[in-house]
Structure 1
Amino acid sequence: MRARDVMSSPVITVTPRTPVHAAAALLVSHGFTAAPVVDTERNLVGIVTEADLVRGRILPEGWVVAQRPEPTVADVMTPAPTAMRPEDDVADVVELMVNGRIRTVPIVDDGELVGVVSRRDVVRCVARRELTSQEVRRRRIGPAGHEGRDR
């Protein structure tokens, strides 16, 4: 099975200039744990996770915080995240996720973001007993013989 068979696409993204609160709201509203960070040409420049967005933001009660400008995604993101290609084997993507303790892997084609594979995407395949590309395509094509994504 290939990454393109299970990846989510199109992808909800943010830019380096997105305010932290807006990125957090986007993740919450879509139920995601991370969002790829892209430039104006949709080239992957980073990834921002829930942990990135909350780290240092919630302080113990009674602490006084100096006024400072709200951080942007560029201030908290992981730059140059590990990415994979659409033709990479999902087994390799899963190995990266498990060994690297990564929840979301960006999928790029010639530097351009084309999708993401999240742990949830892979768990969905396991739950549906879709362990090969053929099984995934059979569900997507369906009995009518035309492609339609069941997400």
Structure 2
Amino acid sequence: MQARDLMESDVKTVSSDDDVAAVFKKFARYEFSGFPVVDDADRVVGVVTESDLVDLFEPDDETLWIPIGLPPFVDTLTYQVKPPWADLDLGVDMVRNADKPISDVMSTGVATVTPDTDVNEVLDLLAGDDPDINRVPVVDGDDRIVGIIARQDVVRAFRDKRLS
């Protein structure tokens, strides 16, 4: 079995020029947790996931420094502050980040395979040590996307083979 036997060839992608607002709309339209990001020649240049977009709304610094004592404040206490989602002003964050290009948010260095890649190599990627690999773009010799393999595609293929 090879990657071509597992892949979905109707791949939904986003462009590296798309902004965050356009990608949010695409996540709302399709039941995917991530999209390959392609350039103008359909070459894979990254992946954007729901988690990448959620990260736009989480504070970078969750540490609150509280000085104790009189100046020159020789001691401080550190508290972790994690505001609940209800306390975040997502509307303001959305407006602030809506025009940001997806290339600023996406992950680069994407693991890809070719249509001729053996299923064992695909399994190694999807079940390997990197928990962030949930889908593997399938590319041709010029790194143009021709398909995608998600974990559920592999499970479905093995189920179907077992039942046949």
Q: Does TM, scored on the shorter chain, surpass 0.5? A: yes
Amino acid at match of 1:14: V
Alpha-carbon distance, 1:73 to partner: 1.2
| Secondary structure in 2 matching 1:85 | coil
Distance across 2 between alignment mates of 1:119 and 1:73: 24
Q: Which structure is larger by alpha-carbon Rg, 1 or 2?
A: 2
Task: Please tell me whether the aligned partners of residues 53 and 76 of structure 1 are also in contact (alpha carbons under 8 angstroms).
Answer: yes
Distance across 1 between alignment mates of 2:27 and 2:97: 22
RMSD: 2.2
With normalisation by structure 2, the TM-score equals 0.70
Which has the larger displacement, 71-80 or 23-32? Answer: 23-32
Runs of 4+ residues deviating >3 angstroms? 58-69
Calculate percent identity across the aligned residue pairs. 36
Q: Partner of 2:112 in structure 1? A: 83
Describe the shift of the 1:126–1:28 C-alpha distance in structure 2 as closer, same or farther (beyond 3 A): farther
With normalisation by structure 1, the TM-score equals 0.76
User: Aligned to 1:93, which of 85, 102, 122?
Assistant: 122
Structure 1: tracts of 5 or more residues without a match: 136-151
**Paired residues, number:** 131
Task: Please tell me whether the aligned partners of residues 44 and 80 of structure 1 are also in contact (alpha carbons under 8 angstroms).
Answer: no
Distance across 2 between alignment mates of 1:87 and 1:9: 14
Q: Partner of 2:134 in structure 1? A: 103
Distance across 1 between alignment mates of 2:14 and 2:88: 31
Residues 96-116 of structure 1, C-alpha deviation per residue, up to 9 Å, x if partnerless?
111122101011111111111
